């Protein structure tokens, strides 16, 4: 039962990462839209750039944690699900 709970926790973490990537893309789109204007709002650009950077760093840290976890799994567990559909 604990393994099932851990797997659900890992899936939720990946879903959170996916949502964060969506926010990154949205921030980037806002910056591009703002840069396309003749007169840009510097404060908006600074806020969006800071949010973009923070989100990218968070996603990188979370993905690294996921990868570290997967590399620590015993080979039998990591490979036992690779052929299943």
- Cβ-count burial of 59 within 10 angstroms (0-12 exposed, 13-18 middle, 19+ buried)? middle
pLDDT at 85: 45
How far apart are alpha carbons 31 and 40 in whole angstroms?
10
Q: What is the mean pLDDT of residues 60-79?
A: 82
Q: Is the model's pLDDT at 81 over the cut of 90?
A: no
Query: In percent, how much of the chain has pLDDT > 90?
Result: 64
pLDDT at 53: 93
**Per-residue pLDDT tens over the stretch 17-52:** 999 999 999 999 999 999 999 999 999 999 999 999
Contacts of 45 (CB under 8 A, 6+ apart): 31, 34, 35
């Amino acid at each position: 039962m604990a393994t099932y709970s851990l797997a659900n926790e890992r899936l939720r973490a990946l879903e959170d990462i996916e949502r964060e990537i969506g926010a990154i893309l949205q921030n980037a789109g806002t910056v591009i839209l703002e840069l396309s204007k003749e007169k840009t709002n510097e404060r908006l650009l600074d806020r969006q750039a800071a949010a973009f950077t923070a989100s990218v760093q968070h996603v990188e840290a979370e993905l690294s944690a996921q990868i570290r976890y997967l590399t620590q799994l015993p080979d039998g567990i990591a490979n036992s699900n690779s052929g299943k559909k």
